[in-house]
Amino acid sequence: MNPNDDTRFLGRSVTSLQTMLRIIALHDPGCPSVIPDGIYGPQTQRAVTAQQKRAGLPQTGITDFATWQAICAAYQAAAVEVEPAAPLDIVMNPNQAIVAGSDNLHVLLIQAMLHILHEVYPNIADCPLSGCCDEATEEALRSLQRCCGAEPSGILDKRLWQLLAGLYHQAVGDGERKSHCGV
Protein backbone atom coordinates (compact mmCIF):
# COMPACT_ATOMS: atom_id res chain seq x y z
CA MET A 1 0.00 0.00 0.00
CA ASN A 2 1.59 3.17 -1.17
CA PRO A 3 0.86 6.33 0.85
CA ASN A 4 1.20 8.31 -2.38
CA ASP A 5 -1.67 6.38 -3.97
CA ASP A 6 -4.52 8.57 -2.70
CA THR A 7 -7.24 6.35 -4.16
CA ARG A 8 -6.14 3.31 -2.11
CA PHE A 9 -5.27 4.96 1.18
CA LEU A 10 -8.23 7.05 2.21
CA GLY A 11 -10.31 7.03 5.34
CA ARG A 12 -10.84 3.69 7.01
CA SER A 13 -7.73 1.88 5.77
CA VAL A 14 -5.41 4.55 7.11
CA THR A 15 -7.42 4.92 10.31
CA SER A 16 -7.30 1.15 10.85
CA LEU A 17 -3.54 1.15 10.32
CA GLN A 18 -3.09 4.10 12.68
CA THR A 19 -5.29 2.51 15.32
CA MET A 20 -3.18 -0.64 15.24
CA LEU A 21 0.01 1.43 15.48
CA ARG A 22 -1.45 3.33 18.44
CA ILE A 23 -2.29 0.10 20.32
CA ILE A 24 1.21 -1.22 19.60
CA ALA A 25 2.70 2.00 21.03
CA LEU A 26 0.50 1.76 24.15
CA HIS A 27 1.91 -1.70 24.75
CA ASP A 28 5.49 -0.77 23.89
CA PRO A 29 6.34 2.88 24.69
CA GLY A 30 9.48 2.55 22.55
CA CYS A 31 7.29 2.52 19.44
CA PRO A 32 6.19 5.83 17.94
CA SER A 33 2.50 6.54 18.41
CA VAL A 34 0.12 8.17 15.97
CA ILE A 35 -3.25 9.81 16.24
CA PRO A 36 -5.79 7.94 14.09
CA ASP A 37 -6.75 10.86 11.84
CA GLY A 38 -7.02 9.03 8.49
CA ILE A 39 -4.05 10.92 7.00
CA TYR A 40 -0.95 8.96 5.99
CA GLY A 41 1.45 11.71 7.01
CA PRO A 42 4.98 11.86 8.43
CA GLN A 43 3.99 10.50 11.87
CA THR A 44 2.33 7.47 10.30
CA GLN A 45 5.32 6.90 8.01
CA ARG A 46 7.67 7.13 11.01
CA ALA A 47 5.61 4.57 12.96
CA VAL A 48 5.38 2.26 9.94
CA THR A 49 9.16 2.51 9.41
CA ALA A 50 9.74 1.60 13.07
CA GLN A 51 7.51 -1.47 12.71
CA GLN A 52 9.32 -2.46 9.52
CA LYS A 53 12.64 -2.23 11.38
CA ARG A 54 11.31 -4.39 14.24
CA ALA A 55 10.04 -6.97 11.74
CA GLY A 56 13.29 -7.05 9.74
CA LEU A 57 11.60 -5.62 6.64
CA PRO A 58 12.92 -2.93 4.28
CA GLN A 59 12.41 0.42 6.00
CA THR A 60 10.43 2.32 3.36
CA GLY A 61 7.62 3.84 5.40
CA ILE A 62 5.22 2.37 2.85
CA THR A 63 2.65 -0.13 4.06
CA ASP A 64 3.00 -3.00 1.60
CA PHE A 65 1.45 -6.42 2.21
CA ALA A 66 4.38 -7.75 4.28
CA THR A 67 4.36 -4.61 6.42
CA TRP A 68 0.60 -4.83 6.90
CA GLN A 69 0.95 -8.46 8.01
CA ALA A 70 3.75 -7.58 10.45
CA ILE A 71 1.75 -4.69 11.92
CA CYS A 72 -1.34 -6.91 12.24
CA ALA A 73 0.71 -9.54 14.10
CA ALA A 74 2.24 -6.92 16.43
CA TYR A 75 -1.21 -5.42 17.00
CA GLN A 76 -2.75 -8.78 17.90
CA ALA A 77 0.00 -9.43 20.44
CA ALA A 78 -0.32 -5.92 21.92
CA ALA A 79 -4.13 -5.89 21.97
CA VAL A 80 -4.20 -8.83 24.38
CA GLU A 81 -2.34 -6.68 26.92
CA VAL A 82 -3.88 -3.28 26.15
CA GLU A 83 -7.54 -3.98 25.38
CA PRO A 84 -10.05 -4.89 28.10
CA ALA A 85 -10.47 -8.56 28.93
CA ALA A 86 -13.25 -10.32 27.08
CA PRO A 87 -16.60 -10.09 28.85
CA LEU A 88 -18.17 -13.22 30.28
CA ASP A 89 -21.51 -14.04 28.73
CA ILE A 90 -23.44 -17.09 29.82
CA VAL A 91 -25.55 -18.94 27.28
CA MET A 92 -29.25 -18.89 28.00
CA ASN A 93 -31.70 -20.31 25.49
CA PRO A 94 -34.86 -18.39 24.59
CA ASN A 95 -37.24 -18.36 27.56
CA GLN A 96 -34.74 -20.26 29.72
CA ALA A 97 -34.79 -19.35 33.39
CA ILE A 98 -32.88 -20.51 36.45
CA VAL A 99 -35.33 -21.23 39.25
CA ALA A 100 -35.25 -22.95 42.63
CA GLY A 101 -34.05 -26.50 42.22
CA SER A 102 -32.43 -25.83 38.83
CA ASP A 103 -29.41 -28.01 38.14
CA ASN A 104 -27.42 -25.43 36.19
CA LEU A 105 -23.67 -24.92 36.19
CA HIS A 106 -24.12 -21.13 36.04
CA VAL A 107 -25.60 -21.06 39.55
CA LEU A 108 -22.20 -21.03 41.29
CA LEU A 109 -21.07 -18.08 39.14
CA ILE A 110 -24.33 -16.25 39.87
CA GLN A 111 -23.94 -16.90 43.60
CA ALA A 112 -20.35 -15.62 43.54
CA MET A 113 -21.45 -12.43 41.78
CA LEU A 114 -24.30 -11.93 44.26
CA HIS A 115 -21.91 -12.54 47.17
CA ILE A 116 -19.50 -9.87 45.91
CA LEU A 117 -22.35 -7.44 45.18
CA HIS A 118 -23.54 -7.97 48.77
CA GLU A 119 -20.16 -6.64 49.96
CA VAL A 120 -20.65 -3.49 47.88
CA TYR A 121 -24.43 -3.17 48.32
CA PRO A 122 -25.46 -4.68 51.68
CA ASN A 123 -29.15 -4.40 50.72
CA ILE A 124 -28.56 -7.19 48.18
CA ALA A 125 -28.92 -10.38 50.20
CA ASP A 126 -25.94 -12.70 50.49
CA CYS A 127 -26.15 -16.37 49.60
CA PRO A 128 -23.84 -19.33 50.21
CA LEU A 129 -21.67 -20.55 47.36
CA SER A 130 -23.32 -23.95 47.08
CA GLY A 131 -23.90 -24.32 43.35
CA CYS A 132 -27.53 -25.15 44.14
CA CYS A 133 -30.33 -22.77 43.28
CA ASP A 134 -31.83 -22.84 46.77
CA GLU A 135 -34.04 -20.50 48.82
CA ALA A 136 -31.06 -18.31 49.83
CA THR A 137 -30.13 -17.85 46.17
CA GLU A 138 -33.73 -17.04 45.28
CA GLU A 139 -33.84 -14.45 48.08
CA ALA A 140 -30.60 -12.88 46.87
CA LEU A 141 -32.06 -12.70 43.36
CA ARG A 142 -35.29 -11.16 44.73
CA SER A 143 -33.29 -8.53 46.63
CA LEU A 144 -31.35 -7.73 43.46
CA GLN A 145 -34.63 -7.40 41.57
CA ARG A 146 -36.04 -5.07 44.21
CA CYS A 147 -32.89 -2.92 44.06
CA CYS A 148 -33.24 -2.68 40.29
CA GLY A 149 -36.97 -1.93 40.38
CA ALA A 150 -37.96 -5.29 38.88
CA GLU A 151 -40.68 -7.65 40.03
CA PRO A 152 -39.05 -9.75 42.83
CA SER A 153 -39.64 -13.25 41.47
CA GLY A 154 -36.28 -14.82 42.43
CA ILE A 155 -36.04 -16.23 38.91
CA LEU A 156 -32.96 -15.52 36.82
CA ASP A 157 -33.85 -14.98 33.18
CA LYS A 158 -31.92 -13.15 30.47
CA ARG A 159 -33.17 -9.75 31.62
CA LEU A 160 -32.05 -10.36 35.22
CA TRP A 161 -28.71 -11.73 33.98
CA GLN A 162 -28.17 -8.44 32.10
CA LEU A 163 -28.97 -6.48 35.28
CA LEU A 164 -26.70 -8.69 37.41
CA ALA A 165 -23.80 -8.58 34.94
CA GLY A 166 -24.14 -4.82 34.42
CA LEU A 167 -24.30 -4.05 38.13
CA TYR A 168 -21.38 -6.39 38.81
CA HIS A 169 -19.30 -4.70 36.10
CA GLN A 170 -20.17 -1.25 37.41
CA ALA A 171 -19.56 -2.11 41.07
CA VAL A 172 -16.45 -4.25 40.74
CA GLY A 173 -14.63 -2.67 37.78
CA ASP A 174 -11.13 -4.11 37.54
CA GLY A 175 -11.61 -6.10 40.74
CA GLU A 176 -8.85 -4.40 42.71
CA ARG A 177 -9.55 -3.56 46.32
CA LYS A 178 -7.32 -2.07 48.93
CA SER A 179 -5.82 -3.95 51.88
CA HIS A 180 -8.24 -6.90 51.84
CA CYS A 181 -5.43 -9.44 51.73
CA GLY A 182 -3.17 -7.64 54.18
CA VAL A 183 -0.86 -6.31 51.49
- Are 130 and 144 part of one and the same domain? yes
Q: Is residue 7 part of a domain?
A: no
Task: Kindly report the pTM of this predicted structure.
Answer: 0.62
Residue span of the structural domain in which 134 resides:
87-183
- Are 17 and 68 part of one and the same domain? yes
Beta-bridge mates of residue 156: 98
- Are 55 and 91 part of one and the same domain? no
Which pLDDT belongs to residue 7? 41
Q: Is residue 35 part of a domain?
A: yes
- Are 26 and 114 part of one and the same domain? no
Output the domain CATH number for residue 146.
Answer: 1.10.101.10
Q: Is residue 17 part of a domain?
A: yes
pLDDT tens digit string along 79-126? 988 888 777 888 999 999 999 988 899 999 999 999 999 999 999 999
Which pLDDT belongs to residue 9? 46
- Are 141 and 126 part of one and the same domain? yes
Q: Hey, what long-range contacts does 157-164 have (CB within 8 A, 24 or more apart)?
A: 157/92, 157/95, 157/96, 157/97, 157/98, 158/92, 158/96, 161/90, 161/92, 164/110, 164/113, 164/114, 164/117
Q: Is the separation of the CB atoms in 148 and 163 below 8 Å?
A: yes
- Are 92 and 78 part of one and the same domain? no
* Of 56, 82, 108, the domain-final residue: 82
Which pLDDT belongs to residue 6? 44
- Please tell me the number of Cα atoms within 13 Å of 161 on its side-chain side: 18
Which pLDDT belongs to residue 157? 94
Q: Is residue 57 part of a domain?
A: yes
* Mean per-residue pLDDT of the chain: 89
pLDDT-derived band of residue 11, with 50, 70 and 90 as boundaries? low
C-alpha span between 29 and 23 (Å, rounded): 10
Going by C-alpha positions, the residue among 125, 159, 122 that lies closest to residue 141 is 125
